[in-house]
């Protein structure tokens, strides 16, 4: 049983006459959402977009979830795995949040997964793609509203083969997200008949790309594939062009490469092809309404995939909390509501897989004048294989 619930039950039985019933009190108190996101560092902008999206969904639900007012407790995790255990323990033990929401970085989320499993706290992951969270370490109380690192990378292999590229170099940061994206890409590319000639890595969040770009120039693959995101993605795209490679060796990427950063990348991003579970130009009324509302609510910021994932976290919580009328103490009912939710997302409607990761379409997009435009669906209803998950 959840510590908080146990304490409330003890209090309730000790002072049964003096206190209103447990459920009524639980519903009357504010719902505490613990946001553990990066607000500084290379992924700072991603954390802000997730929070903005989440807050938009809560505002659209009337500022309440399941009838309860919402209180946000925030911690800046700096995308630093070394500080992650302390940060998440603070939210659970000191701040006693009802739901943990985070994070962006796969290394940070692994600490959240561990603490969520140990304390049986509900965890919703609005970005980090670490495979284990919905794989070997999957759990009834852990859900993801974003993607697994494998998921948007796997279809990119087939896309590149179809465009005539038989050899590729993959380049990224050396940590779980980069390595798992590389593995997903490699699986798709080799299954379609391609060959990876080299994987190149630099430590996260370094942006000294020069030596690696020199290696790419001498390896002369048919094309390059990559995983970078946030401020580092701006620098990589600009350096790739400045090294004179853009017109010689076509650059592809897992779609985060051009999310939230297209204006900063300018002409150097023009024409880049990427795969992702969202595209700015998706032509459905839900996406259009979301984009207009987000821009209005967020000081004219443009939404991106991270904003969508934050928004969907709010939509998912709203549905589940409505089902249980705000009473999170009935864990089985909460889990069932989260498992059975259909999220009416700007990316298109999606459902949870058995392992609690979205089953979703992966789009092929082209960057055109500051917009990630849909070229087509690279893979329909793609489900992460969830290797090792025993749910
Ligand atoms: C991750 O670390 O899992 C991660 C970070 C940034 C992204 C995607 C995945 O854009």
Mean pLDDT of 176-183: 98
Name the nearest CA neighbour of 275 among 372, 165, 166.
372
107 Cα nearest atom in ligand 1: 2
Rg of the chain in Å (alpha carbons): 21
Lining ligand 1 with CB less than 6 A are 43, 104-106, 127-130, 149, 177, 229, 256
Domains in the chain: ranges and CATH: 25-147+282-356 (3.40.50.2300), 150-276 (3.40.50.2300)
Q: Both ends of the chain: CA-CA distance in Å?
A: 19
What DSSP state is assigned to residue 77? Answer: -
How close is the Cα of 15 to the center of ligand 1, in Å? 48
108 Cα nearest atom in ligand 1: 2
pLDDT at residue 26, as a whole number: 55
The pLDDT tens digits of the residues spanning 86-110 come to: 999 999 999 999 999 999 999 999 9
How close is the Cα of 127 to the center of ligand 1, in Å? 6
The pLDDT tens digits of the residues spanning 111-161 come to: 999 999 999 999 999 999 999 999 999 999 999 999 999 999 999 999 999
How close is the Cα of 373 to the center of ligand 1, in Å? 21
Ligand 1: residue of 50, 102, 105 to mutate (most ligand atoms within 8 A of CB) is 105
Q: How confident is the model at residue 15 (pLDDT cuts 50, 70, 90)?
A: very low
Residue 142, H or E segment: strand 142-144
Residue with tokens 């049986």: 120
Name the residue at shortest CA distance from atom 3 of ligand 1.
Answer: 128
Q: Find out whether 178 and 211 touch, Cβ atoms under 8 Å.
A: no
Ligand 1: residue of 80, 104, 384 to mutate (most ligand atoms within 8 A of CB) is 104
The pLDDT tens digits of the residues spanning 48-64 come to: 999 999 999 999 999 99
How close is the Cα of 10 to the center of ligand 1, in Å? 41
Percent of the residues in the chain that have a pLDDT greater than 90, as a whole number: 93
pLDDT at residue 218, as a whole number: 98
Size of the chain in residues? 391
Percent of the residues in the chain that have a pLDDT greater than 70, as a whole number: 93
The pLDDT tens digits of the residues spanning 19-50 come to: 444 554 455 799 999 999 999 999 999 999 99
- Helix, strand or coil for residue 285? helix
Rounded to the nearest integer, the mean pLDDT of the chain is: 94
Sign of the CA dihedral running 11, 332, 354, 287? negative
How close is the Cα of 234 to the center of ligand 1, in Å? 15
pLDDT at residue 16, as a whole number: 41
Name the residue at shortest CA distance from atom 5 of ligand 1.
Answer: 105
How close is the Cα of 229 to the center of ligand 1, in Å? 7
Mean pLDDT of 379-383: 98
Task: Please state the pTM of the whole predicted model.
Answer: 0.94
d(CA 56, CA 187): 37
pLDDT at residue 12, as a whole number: 42
């Amino acid at each position: 049983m959840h510590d908080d619930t146990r304490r409330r039950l003890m209090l309730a039985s000790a002072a049964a006459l003096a206190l209103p019933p447990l459920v009524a009190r639980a519903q009357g108190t504010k719902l505490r959402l613990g946001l553990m996101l990066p607000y500084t560092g290379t992924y700072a902008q991603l954390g802000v977009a997730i929070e903005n999206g989440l807050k938009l969904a809560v505002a659209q639900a009337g500022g309440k979830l399941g009838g309860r007012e919402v209180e946000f407790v925030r911690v800046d995790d700096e995308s630093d795995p070394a500080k992650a255990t302390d940060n998440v323990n603070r939210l659970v033990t000191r701040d006693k949040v009802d739901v943990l929401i985070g994070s962006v970085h796969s290394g940070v989320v692994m600490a959240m997964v561990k603490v969520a499993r140990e304390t049986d706290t509900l965890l919703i992951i609005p970005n980090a793609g670490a495979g284990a969270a919905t794989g070997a370490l999957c759990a009834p109380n852990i859900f993801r509203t974003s993607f697994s690192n494998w998921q948007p990378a796997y279809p990119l292999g087939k896309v590149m083969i179809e465009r005539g590229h038989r050899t590729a170099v993959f380049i990224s940061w050396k940590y779980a997200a980069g390595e798992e994206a590389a593995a997903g890409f490699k699986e798709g590319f080799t299954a379609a008949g391609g060959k990876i000639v080299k994987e190149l890595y630099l430590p996260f969040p370094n942006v000294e790309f020069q030596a690696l770009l020199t290696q790419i120039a001498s390896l002369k693959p048919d094309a390059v594939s990559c995983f970078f995101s946030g401020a580092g993605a701006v620098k990589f795209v600009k350096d790739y062009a400045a090294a004179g490679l853009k017109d010689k060796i076509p650059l592809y990427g897992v779609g985060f490469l051009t999310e939230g950063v297209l204006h900063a990348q300018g002409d150097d991003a023009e024409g880049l092809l990427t795969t992702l579970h969202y595209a700015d130009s998706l032509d459905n009324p839900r996406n259009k309404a979301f984009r207009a509302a987000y821009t209005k609510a967020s000081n004219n910021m443009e939404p991106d995939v991270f904003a969508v994932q934050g928004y969907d976290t709010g939509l998912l919580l709203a549905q589940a909390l409505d089902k249980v009328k705000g009473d999170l103490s009935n864990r089985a009912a909460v889990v069932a509501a989260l498992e059975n939710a259909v999220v009416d997302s700007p990316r298109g409607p999606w459902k949870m897989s058995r392992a609690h990761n979205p089953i979703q379409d992966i789009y092929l997009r082209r960057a055109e004048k500051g917009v990630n435009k849909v070229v087509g669906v690279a893979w329909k209803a793609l489900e992460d294989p969830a290797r090792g998950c025993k749910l």
